[in-house]
Amino acid sequence: MDAAGKLRIAGAALNQTPLDWQNNLHNIHQAIETAVENHVDILCLPELCITGYGCEDIFLSDWVYQKSEQLLLEVAQWCDTITVVIGLPLKHDGQSFNCSALVSGKQIVGIYAKQNLANDGVHYEPRWFTPWPVDKASNIKLNGIEYPIGDILFKHKGIKIGFEICEDAWRQDRPACRLYEKGVELIINPSASHFAFGKTEDREELIIKSSENFNCTYLYANLLGNEAGRMIYDGEVLIARYGKLIQRNEWLSFQGVDLVHTDIDFSNVAEEYPAPASFVRDKNHEFTQAGALALFDYLRKSKTNGFVLSLSGGADSSSIAILVSEMVKRGVNELGVDKFIDRLGVKAVGKFKGHGQNMAVIKAIVAQLLTCAYQGTKNSSEATFNSAACLADDIGATFYSWKIDDEVQSYSNKIENVLERKLDWLSDDLALQNIQARSRSPIIWMLANIKGALLLTTSNRSEGDLGYTTMDGDTSGSIAPIAAVDKSFIIQWLKWAEESLGYSSLNNVNNLKPSAELRPLTSTQTDEDDLMPYAVIVEIEKLAIRDHKSPLEVFDILYQRGLESKELLKNHITKFFRLWAQNQWKRERIAPAFHLDDFNVDPRTWCRFPILSSAFSEELELLKKR
């Protein structure tokens, strides 16, 4: 825009991949080209968009910084008629910094270095980077030329510009406090802010309040998609001015680049802007969209041919089958069949290009991408078989069914021979249950290997808490899509999906009580009888794991709420803590999980716990006396 004080500003969400230079540069180039076509003056790209945010300990390698510097100089040549904010890591005086470079007219104008490093929950930035000191500026030499770096301000067409990078904005003593004192009119925030249920509303409030409190226009651009395997980024681009949100994009897009822009007249503080359209973001919608996008990205970035799922007819495996179906539905609806297939990169579905966009094509694509198998035993019920078969037919998945009784009996016979006795349910309950779950693993893995597909693991977070899983059985797999959400939510979500997403076949699973079906059918085994009510697990888990409370503290809080009778509550809390401590070794081996909630039990990303410990023995003795 040419008028004095007027700028067209834009943010672009990018679906990057760690160290995938070709993909990352392609997305950056596409964003810049789109911005130029739309006559954008200033474009904000996300944090560390050149390398990807999730490079982890590769950020300890010097060559990555050299490569980033080289690529920054290359990207600068695309910025002839536009000013672009580009995120990358840089070395300066022997230290590593998380930076955003401002490039204009093919020249690097300067580099802002992040002052506050994320170091909680899933973040470990201080392991790789050094926080830049407040109010310090220096010069950095790139390709023989010196540029300003640090806590610096910029000016563009008379508009004073300052920066925050992601975590900078979430601190009480944040850079924006000082930028306000310096009369900054535009604050730009390139981010890599991971998805969690409800976080988008908190983030939106942060941006709106920031624009109000610091009397400015605030431009925010986040990463997009399942970048590195576990973290999902919602790809939000938000622009707020003087306490009002004036632009936003659709979040959790299947696009590689998602750009929005708006015109700002910085000379007119009273100018009114229409509010952007709102959209539904309750937990059920968030789980569906985030899970679908995460599966889409994981599939295409792992360069595999599809998914294989042991579909038991129960809640966990059924929820994963629905997520795969939604991945195809939502991806096709947003991108169209041809672009969906191109982005996915799976040869088997290429034959559907040019076929148009209808449910028959969507189900045909699902059939190519998802293979399900019901692996029954003499302890499996007709109800769970029907549940699995109906669901597979409803979504279009390829469905097989076989029995594993011969394999189970073969293993049992060998052990009976060496022990010189018969196995029975009274003495050998756990072993007889586990061998069934484990016997399912080799053959389903074989099918996945033959197809070159990802094996989907069905463990949920509640089971992970208590070790209610069979290692190398139901934990076998490449990716665990629901391991970060609790069983109560899964049960509720399936009922919602039946009604709101139109999966009538879910009526079968929604009328079943969750059961491992590993004991004889006459025992009427249920998961909650084996453990405790799932609703109780959720409440104990929040306090014990998320809030780090002791057994006694958990009891005092939940007893005051009237959750259960005193003795029953004490028993359930004791059981939770004992099983939690005994089963850390299982959590260490659960397949990678998508981070979906505000906490999880994955020791790789959120909750570290010793494999060997006292199992809270003293603390549980105190609880007994309460």
Residue 100: strand pairing partners:
87, 112
Instruction: DSSP letter for 478, please.
Output: S
pLDDT at res. 385: 95
Taking the model in full, what pTM does it have? 0.94
Cα–Cα distance for residue pair 250/121, rounded to 1 Å: 26
Cα angle value 588/589/591 (rounded, 5°): 115
Cα–Cα distance for residue pair 456/373, rounded to 1 Å: 12
Cα–Cα distance for residue pair 296/341, rounded to 1 Å: 11
CATH 3.60.110.10 in the chain: give the residue spans.
Answer: 11-268
Cα–Cα distance for residue pair 421/399, rounded to 1 Å: 39
Query: Burial level of 474, CB count in 10 A (0-12/13-18/19+)?
Result: buried
- Classify domain 284-531 by CATH number: 3.40.50.620
pLDDT at res. 372: 98
Q: Are strands 186-191 and 159-163 parallel, antiparallel or unpaired?
A: parallel
Structure tokens at 340: 């969906």
State how far the alpha carbon of 102 is from the alpha carbons of 162, 174, 207, in Å. 11, 20, 21
DSSP string, 359-415: HHHHHHHHHHHEEEEEEE-TT--HHHHHHHHHHHHHHT-EEEEEE-HHHHHHHHHHH
Tell me which H or E stretch contains 221: strand 217-222
CB 173 within 8 A of CB 159: no
Strand order through the sheet with 107-113: 137-142, 145-150, 107-113, 95-104, 83-92, 42-44, 6-14, 257-265
pLDDT at res. 625: 85
Structure tokens at 39: 């006559």
CATH 3.40.50.620 in the chain: give the residue spans.
Answer: 284-531
Cα–Cα distance for residue pair 508/85, rounded to 1 Å: 52
Cα–Cα distance for residue pair 508/387, rounded to 1 Å: 5
pLDDT mean by block of 10 residues, the chain; 626 residues: 79 98 98 98 98 96 97 97 98 97 97 95 93 97 96 95 97 96 97 96 97 97 96 97 96 97 93 87 96 98 97 96 98 97 94 91 97 95 95 98 96 95 92 91 96 96 91 90 95 97 96 79 79 92 95 96 94 95 93 90 88 93 89
Q: Which CATH superfamily, name and number, covers 11-268?
A: Carbon-nitrogen hydrolase (3.60.110.10)
